[in-house]
Structure 1
Amino acid sequence: MGGSNPASHFIMIQVRDIRVPVTPLPAWRTVRQYGVPPLRPPRENPLKVLVFQHVAAEHPGSFRDFMRADGVIWDAVELDEGEAIPALEGYDALMVFGGPMDVWQEEEHPWLVAEKAAIRAWVATGKPYLGVCLGHQLLADALGGKVGLMPRPEVGVTDVSLTPDGQASVFFTGLPPTFPTLQWHGAAVLKQPEGAKVLAHNDHCAIQALQVGARAFGIQYHVELTDDTVPEWGEITEYRCALEAITGPGGGALLVKAVEEKMPVFRKAAEQLYRNFRATWG
């Protein structure tokens, strides 16, 4: 993040008169970005995931626990804070999460141009991609699909159903044909990119999930939920307005309760989806 990093200087650690040089991590590899240390020692060449974030409150969420258990290293780039996208080489997967902006707001958020270019370049390599909410819409937009406003925001706990392509996709292995999800969006993918498969839908949004090639996936709904997700998102003005447009004032408390009731189901589905995505990394 911003400011100087005192840890960027050479550090010496003295252990019983033996001075051992320690090379610090680059400034952008923070504890927040890596998550907590892995439960087991990392493999000799640990898998690395690049994460694009658009607001601090929208992060990998429960996926942090799953990556931690796998010994996966993850580097987050907070695009809305001006952090630069690093070289894509050396990463095994790219995850792109949500945010309050829309894919067409390039004048207000110029970094969207570079982000879309990076997504196109990444998908062209054939490496695994997972986009959630805005990340789902960015995948579609970057590859020539169409994203636009919905007649009415979709916010709350709603069911999503798999299409025949979804039921056949490795991405949804182990999930039932219809399952509950948390939705919080006012824009949607209106047309998938050429050659993309629609994997899931519901009455509010015809493209709840899509697949491009063998290893690029986007989901409109949220799977990365933790106990703090809804309260944190309720503090974001755009999200609160979308919620209150559906529920009226005070809808946040109702949504917290609805999510709490479904959290065991959400958590199980999130882990299954992560495992399915993880299986595509090779």
Structure 2
Amino acid sequence: MNAPRLLVLQPSQSDPLAKLGDWLEAEGIDLDLVALKDEPAPENLDGYQGVVCLGGEMGALDDLDHPWLADARRLLSSAVSKRLPTLAICLGAQLLAAATGGQVRKGPQGPEVGVLLVAKRDAAAADPLFADLPFTPDVLQFHNDEVHLLPPGAEHLAASPKYPNQAFRVGESAYGLQFHIETTPEIVLSWAAKDPESASCARAHHFDQEFLEQAHRDFEEVWQPFVGRFAKLVRGELLPALGSGTQLPLV
């Protein structure tokens, strides 16, 4: 039996697959990575059993400077319509929201940066990926924009005090995470060095090497099993969420 194949859309070299790639490959998933800045996106999703879309420093609608963002939104829209398991992270989550009728904007409360908590919402209790998460898992935040309005029919799965739309599901199996779960301490430190203005919004010790190493051990304990459940969804070993048949406006 052939291994399931995921299309991985990478908008920026600054946000690689990192730990997420390790976890997916450990689950026997084949990864087809497309660096959107350097190579064309595929025309369609034929031959793929799922999609991952990573983060980046650009905005979800910055098509003038990054015209390939339209390709990312098109493929995410197609993934939802085809009911392919999809995991979209940070910018990826914003692209997923924009592709399916939601709204993205610059966060009016400024950057959200650091090792912070998100809280599960009521709908998470019935979700196949979120149900087994702790109620307030640790995550890595590093973003300036927010998903202001969720797509019509989306399930709201997690929130933070600063920006409420932290995690959501569109359709039965397309997930957007505003936060990061894939990073390493070195990646986070590189972001802080490149964007010291945003980094200054976090508590200073959040960029200490020892603190970040412990935080990433905590991330792994929670989020590797989450990715394992996503892999089961891709393999067809886990049923998608029920009651998600709403027809969405795919834009």
Using structure 1 for the length normalisation, give the TM-score: 0.78
| 1:272 counterpart = 2:190 | no
- Report the alpha carbon displacement of residue 112 of structure 1 after superposing the two structures with TM: 1.0
- Report the alpha carbon displacement of residue 116 of structure 1 after superposing the two structures with TM: 1.0
- Report the alpha carbon displacement of residue 242 of structure 1 after superposing the two structures with TM: 1.4
Q: Is the 8 A contact 1:52 1:77 kept in 2?
A: yes
Residue 119 of structure 2: which of 161, 165, 176 is its match?
161
- Report the alpha carbon displacement of residue 180 of structure 1 after superposing the two structures with TM: 1.5
What amino acid maps onto 2:137 in structure 1? F
Q: In structure 2, what is the equivalent of residue 84 of structure 1?
A: 40
1:229/1:167 Cα in 2 relative to 1: closer, same or farther (>3 Å)?
farther
In structure 1, C-alpha distance between the alignment counterparts of 2:36 and 2:22, rounded to whole Å = 23
In structure 1, C-alpha distance between the alignment counterparts of 2:166 and 2:36, rounded to whole Å = 24
Q: In structure 2, what is the equivalent of residue 116 of structure 1?
A: 73
Q: Is the 8 A contact 1:120 1:142 kept in 2?
A: yes
Q: How does 1:37-116 map to 2 (within 5 A)?
A: 44-81=1-38, 83-86=39-42, 87-116=44-73
- Report the alpha carbon displacement of residue 202 of structure 1 after superposing the two structures with TM: 1.1
In structure 1, C-alpha distance between the alignment counterparts of 2:136 and 2:160, rounded to whole Å = 9
- Report the alpha carbon displacement of residue 156 of structure 1 after superposing the two structures with TM: 0.5
Count of paired positions: 233
In structure 1, C-alpha distance between the alignment counterparts of 2:103 and 2:183, rounded to whole Å = 27
What amino acid maps onto 1:158 in structure 2? L
What amino acid maps onto 2:71 in structure 1? A
| Higher alpha-carbon deviation: 124-133 or 163-172 | 163-172
In structure 2, C-alpha distance between the alignment counterparts of 1:141 and 1:259, rounded to whole Å = 31
Instruction: Return the index of the structure with the highest Cα Rg.
Output: 1
| Higher alpha-carbon deviation: 83-92 or 128-137 | 83-92
Higher RCO (C-alpha under 8 Å, 6+ residues apart): 2
In structure 2, C-alpha distance between the alignment counterparts of 1:252 and 1:98, rounded to whole Å = 24
In structure 2, C-alpha distance between the alignment counterparts of 1:113 and 1:152, rounded to whole Å = 26
| 1:240 counterpart = 2:196 | yes
Note the alpha carbon deviations across 1:8-41, whole angstroms, 9 max, x for none.
xxxxxxxxxxxxxxxxxxxxxxxxxxxxxxxxxx
Q: Is the 8 A contact 1:225 1:266 kept in 2?
A: no
In structure 1, C-alpha distance between the alignment counterparts of 2:37 and 2:210, rounded to whole Å = 30
Give the match's secondary structure for 1:272.
helix
In structure 1, C-alpha distance between the alignment counterparts of 2:101 and 2:210, rounded to whole Å = 38
Q: Is the 8 A contact 2:189 2:207 kept in 1?
A: no
In structure 1, C-alpha distance between the alignment counterparts of 2:208 and 2:123, rounded to whole Å = 31
| 1:140 counterpart = 2:140 | no
In structure 1, C-alpha distance between the alignment counterparts of 2:104 and 2:208, rounded to whole Å = 26
1:216/1:247 Cα in 2 relative to 1: closer, same or farther (>3 Å)?
closer
| 1:183 counterpart = 2:136 | no
Q: Which ranges in structure 1 are unaligned for 5 or more consecutive residues?
A: 1-43
| 1:170 counterpart = 2:128 | yes
Q: Which ranges in structure 2 are unaligned for 5 or more consecutive residues?
A: 237-251
What amino acid maps onto 2:145 in structure 1? A
In structure 2, C-alpha distance between the alignment counterparts of 1:176 and 1:267, rounded to whole Å = 13
Note the alpha carbon deviations across 1:204-231, whole angstroms, 9 max, x for none.
1110000011111011111112242212
Give the match's secondary structure for 1:228.
helix
Q: Is the 8 A contact 2:206 2:212 kept in 1?
A: no
Give the match's secondary structure for 1:80.
coil
What amino acid maps onto 1:60 in structure 2? L
Percent identical: 31
In structure 2, C-alpha distance between the alignment counterparts of 1:125 and 1:218, rounded to whole Å = 16
| Higher alpha-carbon deviation: 62-71 or 51-60 | 62-71
Q: Is the 8 A contact 2:19 2:182 kept in 1?
A: yes
Q: What do you get for the CA RMSD once the two structures are aligned?
A: 1.8
Q: In structure 2, what is the equivalent of residue 35 of structure 1?
A: none
What amino acid maps onto 2:233 in structure 1? T
